[in-house]
Amino acid sequence: MESKKLPVVVVGAGIVGVTTALVLQRTGKYQVAVVAKNTSVDESSLTDNEGWASPFAGANWHAYAGEDEYHAQEMEYTTWRELRKLADMYPESHIKKTTCLEFTTAEKYYEPWFIRKLANSKYLAREQVPFGCDIGIQFDTVILNAPKYLHWVTQQYLESGGKIYQVKLDSLGEAIKYSPTGSGVIHITPIVVNCTGLGSLYLQDVKDTKMHPVRGQVTLVNAPMVKQTISDTPAWKYIIPRGDGTVILGGTYQANNWSTKVDPNTTEEVLRETVKMCPLLVDETTPTTPDNWEERLEKLRKRIIKINVGFRPAREGGTRIELGTVPNPNDSDKNEGIVVVHNYGHGGYGYQSSWGYAFEALKLTNSAANKIFNAHSKL
């Protein structure tokens, strides 16, 4: 006889939320519902919504875990492996294998933890490094067309039997109203998985004051010759092709800045620094030099498609990935709390750590589910 599934509600439909929902749904042990204010199946959420970071990301895989942040390194490396595998299995996923070129100065350089782990990693010859930088490295990575990949993951989740409710919640406790039901689902209070990002700052039963925005401003340009992702990490400048001829140029990392307005000075700085790193942005193959810099900058200005502002959901102390509880609004005696799996606060590394943290959330959900199944079997 087929065993019944445990209900789970995932709150949040950004890349962390839908990846986590997909991983849970595919186990066959859980029936999952996603509840979110913004979703990739809603066109308006993908066009004009500065408060939602996922559709406006670059995105690529570039690790940001520190040298001694071993758990974060594991999450990123797990995601690198998964994305590379998905790129081969699902061409329609909008994941493409490529290489990353990273440049920096000798003064600011330290060898990243992943340089010895990723395939085909190497140091570049001096003549391959743009002026103003001293060191260049190359490694295998992936690029993702963020809005299309987000939509693809969401569709994978829906096709696996999940549901989405587009609703704004004031508390995590409200999520249980959207608990999956049916003959194959155990009729009990669901486990709630919190993937709300900055929303955890406002949810009445969470109010995580460690959460804060990190403002990012990026420019989308038409540059079909660019195939590699390129970055100057200390300067926070990067070039990320989306695989369709368009390229994201960034960026900024402005903590606690809530401004949704485009800063023209930032745009100009980004254009100036990125065309220096990558002359292919304007279909040139010779290095950008002080003599041709202004001419190329003017060409790049004419290639602008759109400028986006978004807020990375950063958290003091790093990502929150743990079990917890919140009050059950249906329990007047306040004796029964709702089991919560927290998975939020990924800052600017949501895409490049999403699968690692989704698998980690699955482990926590399994742990909570075992206790619930044991208690239920004794009734």
CA dist list (Å): 329 to 137, 172, 332: 53, 10, 7
Contact 326, 340 (CB under 8 A): yes
Q: Which long-range contacts (CB under 8 A, 24 or more apart) does 357-360 make?
A: 357/16, 357/20, 357/75, 357/319, 357/321, 358/16, 358/19, 358/20, 358/22, 358/23, 359/23, 359/78, 360/75, 360/321
Q: Is 348 annotated as a binding residue?
A: yes
Contact 184, 3 (CB under 8 A): no
CA dist list (Å): 142 to 57, 179, 183, 363: 14, 36, 41, 26
Contact 349, 75 (CB under 8 A): no
Half-sphere exposure of 379 (CA within 13 A, CB side): 8
Q: Report the alpha-carbon distance of residue 226 to residue 32 in Å, rounded.
A: 39
Q: At what angle do helices 15-26 and 146-159 cross, to 10 degrees?
A: 30
Q: Which of 153, 143, 175 is nearest to 329 (CA)?
A: 175
Q: Is 66 annotated as a binding residue?
A: no
* Residue the block writes with tokens 């000075």: 265
Whether omega before 251 lies within 30 degrees of 0, making that bond cis, reads yes
CA-CA-CA-CA torsion sign (91, 94, 97, 98): positive
Q: Is 189 annotated as a binding residue?
A: no
Output the known binding site for FAD: 196
Binding residues: 196, 312, 348
- Binding-site residues for D-dopa sit at 312, 348
